[in-house]
Amino acid sequence: MSDIEFRDAVAVVTGGAGGIGRALGARLSAEGARVALVDLDEAAAAAAAAETGAAVGLGADVGDETSLRAMIDRVEGDLGTIDIYCSNAGVATGGGLGEDGDWEVSWRVHALAHVHAARVLMPGMAARGSGVFVVTASAAGLLMLMQSAPYTVTKHAAVAIAEWLAVRHGGSGVQVHCLCPQGVRTPMLEGDSGGRSEVGSSGRILEPDQVAGEVIVAIRENRFLVLPHPEVHDYETAKVADRDRWLGGMRRLLSRLGQ
């Protein structure tokens, strides 16, 4: 169990203008945290903050280290030392193998954003012996989104970064969590018909608030992996047990979807 105290904790949620990030911010605010919702879309972040009880909505590009550092400085200046950081922003780009630009943005937002935030925040959290760092990866980071190589590969990177942080810093009182949902009803899923049919074919579509609730429970239990779709554990177990069989099953699913 965790001794985390949400009341008056300072929390940052990136990708906070909508979807899972907005729901996470709302849950954390309801728990009494002082939340900064951060998004590329500053006006949407400010609107989401006003609607969900967050302390502030800010604009920043978490794929850009300078912008991310300026955002962290601003939050710490205005609200105080960051206790909870949810590195949640994400992009759906690049069908198939994608273009180089799809890889570039996916790498920046799904991998480097976590690294840059951890570089700034982890030393202080480790020195204080407390802090929570949540990486939103995806079930695609454990398994695959057949529709997109850039998404799949960079979400695998996100899982690996979270595991690395958990090993390096998890023993010092810092909590690291990795969120790996399948389908969640958000603007990202709604705007991506290929991804929607693939995700919809393999499981239930959850509401963002359900996913945010699972994150709060995992933080309280100090449990690394957050699987709002528990069946993902069985899929991953099957993959590791027999990769050829798993690949064959994925090929059959791909041909059923006609993609």
Ligand X SMILES: NC(=O)c1ccc[n+]([C@@H]2O[C@H](COP(=O)([O-])OP(=O)(O)OC[C@H]3O[C@@H](n4cnc5c(N)ncnc54)[C@H](O)[C@@H]3O)[C@@H](O)[C@H]2O)c1
CB 207 within 8 A of CB 164: no
- Coil, strand or helix at 136: strand
Spot the catalytic one: 85, 133, 151, 235.
151
Q: Is 131 in the site for ligand X (CB under 6 A)?
A: no
Total binding residues toward ligand X, as defined by CB under 6 A: 29
Q: Identify which range of 38-46, 74-82, 116-124, 166-174 contacts ligand X by CB under 6 A.
A: 38-46
Among 25, 90, 98, 131, binds ligand X (CB under 6 A): 90
Q: Could you say which residues in the range 91-120 bind ligand X, by CB under 6 A?
A: 91, 109
69: which 2 tokens? 């550092």
49: which 2 tokens? 């903050």
117: which 2 tokens? 């935030």
Give the shortest CB-39-to-ligand X separation in angstroms. 5
Q: Is 235 a catalytic residue?
A: no
Nearer to ligand X, 33 or 143 (CB): 143
Nearer to ligand X, 15 or 131 (CB): 15
Nearer to ligand X, 185 or 220 (CB): 185
Partners of 56 in the beta sheet? 36
Among 13, 21, 58, 178, binds ligand X (CB under 6 A): 21
Q: Is 187 in the site for ligand X (CB under 6 A)?
A: yes
Nearer to ligand X, 138 or 202 (CB): 138
Single out the residue of 89, 111, 79 nearest to residue 11, CA to CA: 79
- Coil, strand or helix at 62: coil
Q: Is 88 in the site for ligand X (CB under 6 A)?
A: yes
Q: Distance between CA atoms of 102 and 57, rounded to whole angstroms?
A: 27
Cβ neighbourhood burial of 243 (10 Å; 0-12, 13-18, 19+): exposed
CB 94 within 8 A of CB 148: yes
Query: So which residues are the catalytic ones?
Result: 151
